[in-house]
Amino acid sequence: MQEVSDIKVEDWGRTAYADATARQLILVGQRIKGEAPDQLIFTEHDAVYTVGLRHGSVKNLLWDPAQLAAQGISVADTNRGGDITYHGPGQIVGYPIVDLSAVKDLHAYLRFLEEVMIRSVGRLGLAATRRDGLTGIWVGTRKIAAIGVAVRRWVAYHGFALNVAPNLEHFTGIVPCGIASADGTVTSLAAELSSPPSMTEVRAVLAQEFRSRWPEFIQPTS
């Protein structure tokens, strides 16, 4: 039987969003059947706006087809929770394919993912926090990471996106996560730190934090 701390970590490199989603669904099916372990997938996506299940999300797409084509950004519907967001090169996307049946609490899982990222960027030299009523992590009113998950028979997929050094201009083509500019903007590690870490370093820290905190989350001692 798999130990809860034995999280398999894999890097898919650069992927198209649709291809990564299809690969996730295969892994979800395998995890449900007990044919695969819990695992954490890392990837960087080709530039894409993904539209979540929140009602009215597509209204937060601001650029018209000509602007999208000029920037080389596609648009994809997705079955994760949340609003519209951006994925692209320079952003680390993490897809944990994990069994939550021992917890059965999706909100607690979202807070777990936030904690992993808060502690990860803290180790990299940046203080980030939560904001009441808003999923993700923030530096003041600047959002540095987004979260959107889906679940099938208590196996979670999709996950989080941490801005390391993406093209921040691409976020101006949407209302990111449905949050108006008066309430917040978007930032990255490269924008906040004088000596930003490499993608390799960030992936390593995220993996360490996830794996070290997973056992307590899935099997709390109290």
Catalytic residues, by residue number, are 177
Q: Do residues 99 and 154 touch, judged by C-beta distance below 8 A?
A: yes
3-state secondary structure of 174: strand
Supply 151's token pair: 């679940």
Bridge partners (DSSP) of residue 150 are: 157
Q: What share of the chain is helix, strand, coil (3-state, %, to 5)?
A: 35, 30, 35
